A = this chain, B = another copy of it.
């Protein structure tokens, strides 16, 4: 099997970072198109949680316990923020903060996020192309039975405990795909939708004008990896959101969301029983171990996806 394919991964945070790392461990060109609708300002600093999670993972410096942040990082700045009377519900590590300070400065100078991201990733030794979905501001607003919240407030401060009634990607109608996004979707060998939250991680990427159409008409072999295994998400509120928004809480429910955009759906062995129903949607079904605990697991999954494509 040749593995020097060109691959584009659509990614949110931790799940996206893991699959991207799997492909990064193989030969070939890798682009990772990353959700930025979770981006936030904290103390005026420009935070891009999903971009940083993917970047730190590909740079080999991610915290293996949390999946986000930098391994071994300290929180001296945050401790001082607390002493200064500031809210500190959003954890920012010290080394992590260097990223945010530089990003904020560059953005204030008018440099687009995609350029800043490429600079930071290069400085950290990342070889893959790390591409924000857009250079424009898009912000996920979460309507819940407890009111409307910005994404980080819903996700971090309120620990995604509220029942979600609707999602709005504020600004997305006026957003333009960042340089490399449409190119990365049209003609690679493979486009992989990572096991990220389909609503708040992959959803915003697909909502950027032109992206859904580029993926729908892509010449690539397109595969999605289900973030839902055995009716639950490995991480985050994906399962709860499927339920809240009236979808089946399973890999089948996820596959339905991607109808028309994928050639194959990759599901976990535990969900093998769903394969016939997913196949009825007109997509190939790949059944394997989709839990990517370590680097070897991630590489194996990436390799298996490429092998399926080659069949």
Contacts and interface: CB of A to CB of B under 8 A. Distances in A.
Interface in A102-124: 102, 104-105, 108-109, 120, 123-124
Contact of A104 (B44, B77, B80): B44
A98 interface: yes
A111 to B, nearest CB: 11
Interface string A73-97: 1101111110111100000001111
Contact of A74 (B76, B99, B101, B120): B76
Given A85-B123, A123-B85, A124-B84, A77 B105 contact: no
Interface residues of A, number: 31
Nearest to A44: B105
Interface string A32-53: 0000000000011100000000
A81 B78 CA distance: 17
B108 A44 contact: yes
A81 B98 CA distance: 6
A98 B84 contact: yes
Contacts of A84: 98-99, 102, 120, 123-124
Nearest to A109: B44
Contacts of A124: 83-84
B76 A94 contact: yes
Contact of A44 (B79, B98, B101): B101
Nearest to A104: B44
Interface string A166-178: 0000000000000
A94 B77 contact: yes
A76 B72 CA distance: 11
Contacts of A83: 95, 98, 123-124
Contacts of A120: 84
A78 B101 CA distance: 11
B95 A77 contact: yes
A62 to B, nearest CB: 14
Given A43-B102, A77-B94, A80-B99, 15 more contacts: A43-B105, A45-B101, A74-B76, A74-B94, A77-B77, A77-B98, A78-B98, A80-B98, A81-B98, A83-B124, A84-B123, A86-B102, A94-B94, A97-B101, A101-B101
Contacts of A96: 80
A256 B81 CA distance: 45
Q: Which 6 A-B pairs have the closest CB atoms?
A: A44-B105, A76-B94, A80-B98, A80-B95, A84-B123, A85-B123
Contacts of A94: 74, 76-77, 80, 94
Contacts of A85: 123
A143 B55 CA distance: 43
Nearest to A82: B98
Contacts of A104: 44
